[in-house]
Structure 1
Amino acid sequence: MSLPPRPQDAARRNLLLLILLRWLAVGGQLATILVVEFGMGIRLPLAPMLTTLAGLVVLNLVQLATARFPVTNAELLGALLIDVAALGVQLALSGGATNPFVTLFLLQVVLGAVLLEAWSSWLLVAVTSAAFALLAFVHRPLPLPPEFASRLSVPYMLGSWFNFTLAAVLAVLFVTRGAANLRQRDAHLAAMRSLAAEQEQIVRMGLLASGAAHELGTPLSTLSVTLGDWRHEAEARAFPRLAGEIAELEAEVARCKEILAGILFAAGEVTGEAPARTTLRRFVQRIVERWGRPELVTLDDCLWRDPPIVADRALAQTIVNLLDNAIEAGASHVTLTYALDDAGDGGEEEIVIAARDDGRGFPPEFLDGIGRPYQSSKERRGAGLGLFLASNVLRTLGGSLEARNDPRGGAVVVLRLPLATLSLEKKG
């Protein structure tokens, strides 16, 4: 897949397009001058008019020679203003505002609306409108033969100027608005492509985790059966220490099997277990109790009521990941706050879970792209992937994740999700 062009490349191509159009303008003006002078017999001041065309040719050659350098909006604006000045000189030498080619100013306005920033486009509107008005008074009258001669009234000239200015304003207004809409559409498409790429990574990671869970299930089952047999052996019953070690191993194997079951559940595979009904307070407390180092966590219970919910394994694993990340970031203590908030979208109650630690915090560059996969640092190993998975779990549940550094030190990660997502009425 080809990469989109860089802004510098697009500006350079715009300059090359402007150079091409200027070549066409030079050729058209030269042909018009020759036809009027020699074909129609109307005398024109050839020397200054051809000198003006020569100046445009020199400008084109200079811009072609420097086109390899970065092109700025000011450079494009300057080139268009020179084109407007050259056209104004040609018109001043050939009838001014009475010359039918005065409407070519509108071409410069449209080009400016397409190629320039908005303020530059409106500057071109003002300059060309002023040039049109000035040419009505300052110009060299054309010595037309009687069959071509005509006199334009002042109201007609005023109407022509107003018509030109109105057309220029509308052209810039609609072209710039259309360009803004296209930029918004492109930004939306880029965001959707980024989201699709993230979802594809999630699917791949889910397939990998699901496959690993299935593969590990067999040896764990074998270990469980073997440990059960050992526990009933006479030697094990005769030595309490050995029996205790076997019991500890059985507990660890059971914990591994539960973790694998959680992985399969998060991957969308049903394990035959009924959804666990609990309350929000018991749900959070149970997660901390079953975490490896519950003594490092202080629970801050801010619930004004304890709503019944369904224990979501993906959310539970997300909270465990936050605790693991805090310890990996050098934290010696984590405060886990859980509360209900009535200020959710649409007035719905939200579950708010905040993990505040006293570790090293997040690097500033990490916070700029929070939740992107594999974005981490040596000081915070695994945090990028953990928060990436947490962000997507919260997004699946209709919630959001916010991460920031605490001014007092450490990091704060806040999870928000609608209470209705876990309520018994919805899940049960």
Structure 2
Amino acid sequence: MSAAVALPVSDALAPPFAGDAGVEAGGEDAPGHKNLLLLVQLRWIAVGGQLVTLGIVGAGLRVALPIGPMAGVLLGLVLVNAGSLIRLSRPSPVARAELALAMLLDIGALTLQLGLTGGATNPFTFLYLLQVTLAAVLLDGAATWAVVAVTALCFCALTRAYLPLDLSGLPGADLFALHIAGMLICFLLDAALLVVFVTRVTRNLRARDARLAALRQRAAEEDGIVRMGLLASGAAHLLGTPLSTLSVILGDWRRMPALTGDPELMGELDVLEAEVRRCKAILTGILVSAGEARGESAAATTLHTFLDELVAEWRGAHPAAQLHYDDAVAEDPAIVSDTALKQVIVNLLDNAFEVSPDWLRLRVGLESGLLRLSVEDRGPGFAAEILADVGTPYRSTKGRQGGGLGLFLVFNVVRKLGGRVSVGNAPGGGAAVEMTLPLSALAVAAREPAGPAHAGRDGADG
């Protein structure tokens, strides 16, 4: 008796990205490539198992076997594996039809080996059930029924066309007991392989579902970003008119004799005019980052210049803040400045300032081509339930309506740049948010006009 196994597992699906943000499968069809590689591995197992069986049955039990033809079938499986490895070297997606064809080749190899070793009387014919089960799990309905039909035809053919086993080397042996032993081995082999590989397929399918759910969530988040951008742009346009009116009225008041003679009122007018100008500048930034002028906001600058100007501007708007600006980057590479990037850093600084106005730190470093920019504070830190789903919109400890959008936007902007965000609590208290970005994504030559950018710098500063 001969165990001839060509084990196929085809359309299992690959796991999602990691942490990352991962993840993702690059330009190739990760599920198809992964399953084809699995087929290769299983075919090597089949070749090895059949060689062991030939040794035990032929040499151990002294059963005469057609070694030449059976070795030819094993050579065919090796050649199929060589072709599969060549196919794996190509980035093009592996279609289901290719995987189904691989299963049929395995069924054909099993049929040839069984036909050379007793046909339907060989107890290892039950390995056909393994092929059918895997097809039902992995292929669509039509392909599965095709596999059922092929295996049924092969089994029927084995009842007519086969080479009987030469058992003359086993005089006086209990052939029925040997057959039962072979059936037991086949059952255990079937059961073990089904548990191992169906479990793996199920795990991969769950990973596929999780990946699709993550992609749907990302699409919903990006749709929300678009809606917020449209809302912000519309609000900025609407607020522009009343601000212009206020500016005109304040200009008229400045020329009124009743007010020009009062230094205290004139000082208050100066403050009001400064605040109106600041509101106009904020609205201009909203229009640039949320509307069609996005590409116009991108400009060539350097890492240090970008962050130095950002810190100076933020300090000017928060004179009471105790911001420590730590710069550990020696070089000053050229980057692309973008309003969205600037707003992300400002959001982190604003959040830290709200909970820790007496101390916050902006730290920037560069290591192995990765720019690390972190904002730390000495506030109460993040609650455990916030850390569990950080980056989700409207999850905030501030308790106000619409809170939680700052970190949500940070996560999405950094993700667009191919980076990642780490959020946690410092051992001594307070929160720490770190952005890690590939410096290549910020290079002037690598950036399209419509993409956001990121930068960082450091330099001990109190």
TM-score, normalization by structure 1 = 0.58
Structure 1 residue aligned with 2:276: 253
Conserved 8 A contact 1:329-1:380: no
Q: Is the aligned partner of 1:309 residue 2:335? A: yes
Alpha-carbon distance, 1:242 to partner: 4.2
The match for 1:395 is 415
Q: Distance in 1 between matches of 2:295 and 2:178?
A: 88
Task: Output one character per residue of 1:263-311: Cα deviation in whole Å (capped at 9) or x when no partner.
Answer: 2222242189664443322322322332322442111121212223333
2:395 maps to 1:371: no
Residues of 2 paired with 1:416 and 1:280: CA distance? 15
The verdict on how the C-alpha distance between 1:424 and 1:189 changes in structure 2, with shifts beyond 3 A counting, is closer
Determine the C-alpha separation between the residues in 1 that align with 2:372 and 2:293: 28
Match of 2:325 in 1: 299
Indicate conservation of the 8 Å contact 1:277/1:310, yes or no.
Answer: yes
Query: Which AA in structure 1 matches 2:306?
Result: F
* Equivalent residue number for residue 334 of structure 1: 360
Deviation at 1:209, TM superposition (A): 1.5
Whether 1:202 aligns to 2:248 is no
Task: State the alpha-carbon separation in 1 of the partners of residues 339 and 200 from structure 2.
Answer: 48
**Change in CA separation of 1:419 and 1:253 when aligned onto 2, cut-off 3 Å:** farther
Provide the secondary structure at the position in 1 that maps to 2:445.
Answer: helix
After the TM superposition, which of the residue ranges 237-246 and 403-412 deviates more from structure 2?
Answer: 237-246
> In the alignment, residue 197 of structure 1 is paired with which amino acid?
A
Residue 22 (structure 1) aligns with: none
Select which of 389, 392, 404 maps to 2:424.
404
In the alignment, is residue 356 of structure 1 matched against residue 376 of structure 2? yes
The answer to whether structure 1 residue 421 and structure 2 residue 441 are counterparts is yes
Q: In structure 1, the residue corresponding to 2:376 is in which secondary structure?
A: strand
Deviation of 1:383 after TM superposition, in Å, equals: 6.2
Structure 1 residue 324: Cα displacement = 1.8
- Which deviates more, 319-328 or 166-175? 166-175
Q: Residues 231, 399 of structure 1: CA spacing in aligned structure 2 closer, same or farther, 3 A cutoff? A: farther
* In structure 1, distance between residues paired with 2:253 and 2:294: 28
* TM-aligned CA deviation for residue 322 of structure 1: 1.3
Whole-angstrom CA distance in 1 between matches of 2:436 and 2:330:
17
1:322 corresponds to which letter in structure 2? L
1:280 aligns with 2:303: yes
Query: Runs of 4 or more off by more than 6 Å in structure 1?
Result: 379-383
- Work out the CA distance in 2 between the residues paired with 1:268 and 1:350: 30
Q: Secondary structure at the match of 2:362?
A: strand
Q: Is the alpha carbon distance of 1:290 and 1:257 closer, same or farther for their aligned partners in structure 2, counting shifts above 3 Å?
A: same
For the residue of structure 2 that corresponds to 1:425, the secondary structure is: coil
- The CA distance in 2 between the partners of 1:240 and 1:419, in whole Å, is 52
Change in Cα spacing, 1:267 to 1:304, as seen in structure 2 (3 Å) is: same
Distance of 1:195 and 1:306 partners within structure 2? 34
Does residue 169 of the first structure (1) align with residue 192 of the second (2)? yes
Q: 1:264 to 1:154 in 2, by over 3 A?
A: same
1:331–1:360 contact (8 Å) kept in structure 2: no
- Alignment partners' CA distance in 1, 2:442 and 2:183: 69
CA contact (8 A) 2:289 2:297 kept: no
- Report the Cα offset of residue 228 of structure 1: 3.9
Give yes or no for contact 1:372–1:384 (8 Å, CA) kept in 2.
yes
CA distance in 2, matches of 1:302, 1:275: 25
Separation (CA, whole Å) in 1 of partners of 2:402 and 2:351? 7
Superposition deviation, residue 199 in structure 1: 1.9
Distance 1:334 1:172, change over 3 A: same
Q: Say how many residue pairs are matched.
A: 284
Greater RCO, CA 8 A, separation 6+ = 2
CA distance in structure 2 between the partners assigned to 1:255 and 1:305 by the alignment:
33
Distance 1:326 1:160, change over 3 A: same
Could you give the per-residue CA deviations for residues 340-364 of structure 1, whole angstroms, max 9, x where no partner exists? x233xxxxx2332211111111111
Match of 1:212 in 2: 235
Q: Secondary structure at 2:395's aligned position in 1? A: coil
TM-score by length of 2: 0.54
Contact 2:375/2:434 (<8 A) preserved:
yes
Structure 1 unmatched ranges of 5 or more: 1-99, 115-150, 344-348
CA contact (8 A) 1:262 1:314 kept: no
User: For the structure 1 residues 358 and 373, does the alpha-carbon distance in structure 2 shift closer, same or farther, using more than 3 Å as the test?
Assistant: same
Amino acid at match of 1:392: N
Summarize the Cα distance change of 1:258–1:398 in structure 2 as closer, same or farther, 3 Å threshold.
Answer: farther
Counterpart of 2:287 in structure 1 is: 264
Q: C-alpha displacement at 1:416, in angstroms?
A: 2.1
Q: Distance in 1 between matches of 2:413 and 2:386?
A: 19
Q: Work out the CA distance in 1 between the residues paired with 2:188 and 2:343.
A: 65
User: Separation in 1 of the partners of 2:402 and 2:376?
Assistant: 18
The residue aligned with 1:87 is none
Indicate the SS of the match to 2:293: coil
Measure how far apart 1:193 and its partner are. 1.9
Q: Give, in angstroms, the shift of residue 243 of structure 1.
A: 4.1
Cα distance in 2, alignment partners of residues 190 and 281 from structure 1: 40
- Alignment check: 8 A CA contact 1:361 1:409 kept: yes
Q: Verify the 8 A CA contact 2:303 2:332 in the aligned structure 1.
A: yes
Q: Give the unaligned 5+ runs of structure 2.
A: 1-122, 138-173, 450-462
CA drift at 1:173? 2.8
Question: Shift of residue 197 of structure 1?
Answer: 2.1
Task: Give CA-to-partner distance per residue, 1:123-146, whole Å, 9 cap, x none.
Answer: xxxxxxxxxxxxxxxxxxxxxxxx
